[in-house]
Structure 1
Amino acid sequence: MTFAELPYAAAWRHHQARTGFEVVHFRRTGVGVQVAGCTTAVQDGVPWTVEYLLDLDGDWTTRRAAVAGRSPAGPRSTVLEAVGEGRWLVDGLPAPDLDGCLDVDLECSVMTNALPVHRLGLGVGRRASAPAAFVAAVGLGVDRLEQSYTRLHDDGPHQQYHYKSPASDFSCQLVFDPAGLVLDYPGSAVRHL
C-alpha cells in the first residue's frame, strides 16, 4: 500500500475525552521520518503539556521516542529506544514487558495511530495485532498496550479502520486521509489542519 506525501505539518483539536490541541511537524530523513509534536490539554480537570520527538525508519517502525511532559505532578521526561526486533530500552534500562512492540502509542497523541497503519499496510478486510509501548500523558509511565487494526474499506480518498484495545474494552472506527493520518478519532480528536 502506498500513501500520499506527508504534509509539512498537521493539527488536531482534542475534544470530549480532553480539551486541547496537538500540532506535529514531519521531516523526511535519510532513513525514514522524524515527527516532532506537542499536545496541550486539560483532562479530568488536570492541565498538562507533552512534547515528543519520534524517529521512525523507512517502514514507520519506531526507532526512538523522546517524550517530555509537564503537569501538576511536575516535569517528567522519558526516552524509549528500540534495540533489535521488538526489544526496548526505557531510560536506558531493558523493558522486557515491551518485547514484540514495534510502535509507540502516546496517550497525548492522535498522530501515533498513524504508525501501525503505515507500518502494516493492510489491505481491505485484513486485520493485524499491533502491540505498542504506551506512554501516559500525565507522569509519562510506560506500559504495554495490546491493540489491533482492521482495514474496513475506503470512502473515496479516505481509509476506514476498526481500532480495538481489549485491555480498556475500547473500540472505534478511525478515518485516515490519503497520507495515512487520522482525520477523525471518535470521542477524542478531529483533524484541524
Structure 2
Amino acid sequence: MVTSHVLTWEVTESRGYETSWIELRGTTLWARGRAVGTVPEPYWVSYKLETGDRYVTRELRVHVANATGSHELSLQHDGGGQWTANGEQLPSVEGALDCDLGLCPLTNTMPVLRQGLHRAPGERTFLTAWVSVPDLAVHASRQTYTHLARTESGARVRFASGENRSDLEFDEDGLVIDYPGLAHRLSGSAGHA
C-alpha cells in the first residue's frame, strides 16, 4: 500500500515555512520539499529524500539559495554504513542509517518508523548524518528517541541530542505534527493507493 501526504509546517526556529510531498510505500519513504527561512538569514531550501528498505536513507539532495549565492549537497548512503557528501567520504558518520536535515521536521520520521516508536514503548539511540542549514555542512549527531505515550492523533516521542530535548507529537503514519521550539504542522492531506 502507498500512502501519500502533502504537509506544511510553520518552522518557528527559522521564522519560515516548509511543505513536503511524501510517499510511504511499504517500509520506504520518498519525499521532496521546499522551505523558506529568515533566520539566521533569508534563504530557500529544496530537497529530495529517498530511503531504502526499513527507512534507511539512500540519498538526500539539497539545494540552498541565499544572499551569497546557491550551493548543493548530494548526501549518499551505500546501505552498508558508508556515506559520501558530493562524492567525498564521510568517516565521521560511518554506521549511521539516517540523515537529519536541519530545521526539517520530516527527517525525524525515519528512525521513529523503523523502530515503531510511534506505536509502542521503547527507546533507541542513533548516529545520524545531520545537515546544518543553510550552510549544508554534514556533522555526526547522536540522537535518542523515547516513546512516551500513545495519543488521540498518534504518539508523543521524546527527542534528545546533546543538551536539546523536546517531546514531539507524531501522527499514526509516524509524521511530525508538533516539534516544540522547531515546527508545528499547519495543514496536511493524505491519500491511499
Question: Normalization by structure 2: what TM-score?
Answer: 0.89
Q: Match for residue 135 of structure 1? A: 131
The question of whether the paired residues in 2 share the 8 Å contact of 1:73 and 1:139 is answered with no
The answer to whether residue 37 in structure 2 is matched with residue 41 in structure 1 is yes
Match of 2:177 among 174, 183, 188: 183
Change (3 A) 1:100 1:41: same
Unaligned runs of 5+ in 1: none
Change (3 A) 1:84 1:49: same
The answer to whether residue 53 in structure 2 is matched with residue 58 in structure 1 is yes
The answer to whether residue 13 in structure 2 is matched with residue 20 in structure 1 is no
The question of whether the paired residues in 1 share the 8 Å contact of 2:96 and 2:128 is answered with yes
Q: Match for residue 104 of structure 1? A: 99
Q: Over residues 161-184 of structure 1, what are the superposed CA-to-partner deviations in whole Å (9 max), with x where a residue is unaligned?
A: 011001xx1101000011111111
Q: Over residues 31-65 of structure 1, what are the superposed CA-to-partner deviations in whole Å (9 max), with x where a residue is unaligned?
A: 83310011101113x11111110111231110011
Q: Match for residue 73 of structure 1? A: 68
Distance (Å, rounded) in 2 between the aligned partners of 1:124 and 1:32 = 20
Distance (Å, rounded) in 1 between the aligned partners of 2:121 and 2:95 = 24
Task: Report SS of the residue matched to 1:104.
Answer: strand
Distance (Å, rounded) in 2 between the aligned partners of 1:83 and 1:74 = 30
The question of whether the paired residues in 2 share the 8 Å contact of 1:131 and 1:144 is answered with yes
Question: Normalization by structure 1: what TM-score?
Answer: 0.89
The answer to whether residue 164 in structure 2 is matched with residue 170 in structure 1 is yes
The question of whether the paired residues in 1 share the 8 Å contact of 2:167 and 2:180 is answered with yes
Within 5 Å, give how 1:117-156 maps onto structure 2. Answer: 117-122=112-117, 124-156=120-152
The question of whether the paired residues in 2 share the 8 Å contact of 1:39 and 1:108 is answered with no
| Structure with a larger share of its residues in strand | 2
Amino acid at match of 1:64: E
**More deviation, 123-132/22-31:** 22-31
How many residue pairs get aligned? The number is: 186
Unaligned runs of 5+ in 2: 188-193
The question of whether the paired residues in 2 share the 8 Å contact of 1:35 and 1:55 is answered with yes
The question of whether the paired residues in 2 share the 8 Å contact of 1:48 and 1:137 is answered with no
Q: Over residues 40-99 of structure 1, what are the superposed CA-to-partner deviations in whole Å (9 max), with x where a residue is unaligned?
A: 01113x111111101112311100111110122320101111123221111112111111
Change (3 A) 1:28 1:188: closer
Q: Over residues 121-150 of structure 1, what are the superposed CA-to-partner deviations in whole Å (9 max), with x where a residue is unaligned?
A: 236431101221111111111111111100
User: What value does the CA root-mean-square deviation take over the aligned residues?
Assistant: 1.9
Q: What percent identity do the matched residue pairs reach?
A: 28
